[in-house]
Amino acid sequence: MQKTKKLGFIQWIKFKGWFIFDLPYFIKEQNLKNGLELGAKAGRSMYYMLKVNKNLKLAGIDLWEVIEGGAYKDNNKNEDKCRRKLNSFLDRVTLIKGDAKQIATNTENETYDFIYYDLQCKLMTSFHQEMIEKWLPKIKKGGVLIGRDFREFREAFYNLGFKETDFNSCKIGERVSVRLEYVVIK
């Protein structure tokens, strides 16, 4: 993926603004009511999903530990930031601290209408396949696994039996998200 290099201003906004312009409205259009975000960090994407979708119940999981990468040097402070950011949605939010691989083991199958997968960081490089395999059964049949930049670890999906034709770009009306894709759970 070319990332932000050589993007015009509008394209740059579309690329960077997935959590404001794309994810919340895709969830609204799909009428999804009960979701989970893997990789809550400071609550940024959760905040917009909850703000736009007044009946959405949303859980978030994160390690909230300092991990490799400049964006994570203060990651241990993000639990507190996340809880404060989502303070006005307390009745609709559940936040869980820990390794999502282990938390999956204690989660009932077919719990969620959707999972938004946002665990891209160096620490996770070799673990996407294992993580996706553990969480797929937690989504209801007909539900969706949504992700940002799934292209960066397609191989993990192929190894789990997905084909390229299983990937759909998220659409909001006629507009196609630059970064968000989803697969439907059969």
Ligand X SMILES: C[S@@+](CC[C@H](N)C(=O)[O-])C[C@H]1O[C@@H](n2cnc3c(N)ncnc32)[C@H](O)[C@@H]1O
Residues that bind ligand X (CB under 6 A): 19, 39, 41-42, 44-45, 61-63, 67, 75, 99-101, 118-121, 123-124
Task: CB nearer to ligand X: give 8 or 40.
Answer: 40
Asked if 150 and 180 touch (Cβ cutoff 8 Å), the reply is no
Helix (H, G, I), strand (E, B) or coil at 115: strand
Task: CB nearer to ligand X: give 132 or 185.
Answer: 132
The residue with its CB nearest to ligand X is: 39
Task: CB nearer to ligand X: give 99 or 155.
Answer: 99
Minimum distance from CB of 83 to ligand X (Å)? Answer: 14
Minimum distance from CB of 174 to ligand X (Å)? Answer: 25
Q: Biggest alpha carbon distance in the chain?
A: 45
Task: CB nearer to ligand X: give 44 or 92.
Answer: 44
Q: How far apart are CA 80 and CA 99, in angstroms?
A: 17
Closest C-alpha among 48, 68, 183 to residue 115: 183
Element (H, E) at 96: strand 93-97
